[in-house]
Structure 1
Amino acid sequence: MERDPADTSRHVERFAVAFTDAGMPRMPSRVLAALLATDSGRQTAAELATTLKASPAAISGAVRYLIQVHMVAREREPGTRRDVFHVHNDVWYEAIFHREPLLDRWAATFREAANAFDPTTPAGRRADTTAEFFEFLLGEMPAMLDRWKAHRTAKQQQEAREAREAQESQIAGR
Structure 2
Amino acid sequence: MPGGRLTIEDRQHIATGLAEGLGYTEIGQRLGRPASTIMREVTRNGGPDTYGADRAHEATQDRARRRRQAQPPTPHAPDSGHGRDPQAVQDLTESFTALLEQQGLPRMVARVLTCLYITDSGTLTAADLAKRLRISPASVSHAVTFLEQQGLLQRERTPGVRHERYVIDDEVWLRTTLASLQMNDALAAASQRAAEILGVATPAGARFDTSAEFLLLVSESLRKVTEQWPQNMAARSARREQ
TM class, shorter-chain normalised?
0.7 to 0.9
What is the 5 A alignment of 1:15-164? 15-161=96-242
* Higher fraction of helix: 1
> What is the RMSD computed on CA atoms of the aligned residues?
2.1
Shift of 1:67: 0.7
After TM superposition, the score normalised by the length of structure 2 is 0.60
CA drift of 1:68 comes to 0.8
Misfit runs of 4+, over 6 Å: none
Q: Which TM-score applies when normalising by structure 1? A: 0.80
Q: Is the 8 A contact 1:88 1:94 kept in 2?
A: no
Q: Which residue of 1 aligns with 2:13?
A: none
Greater CA deviation, 33-42 or 113-122? 113-122
Task: State the identity %.
Answer: 35
Aligned residues: 161
Distance 2:90 2:124 in 1: 15
Provide closer, same or farther for how the CA distance between residues 121 and 30 of structure 1 changes in structure 2, counting only shifts above 3 A: farther
For structure 1, list consecutive stretches of 5 or more residues without a partner in the other structure.
162-174
The reply to whether residue 8 of structure 1 matches residue 82 of structure 2 is no
Cα distance in structure 1, aligned partners of 2:163 and 2:144: 14
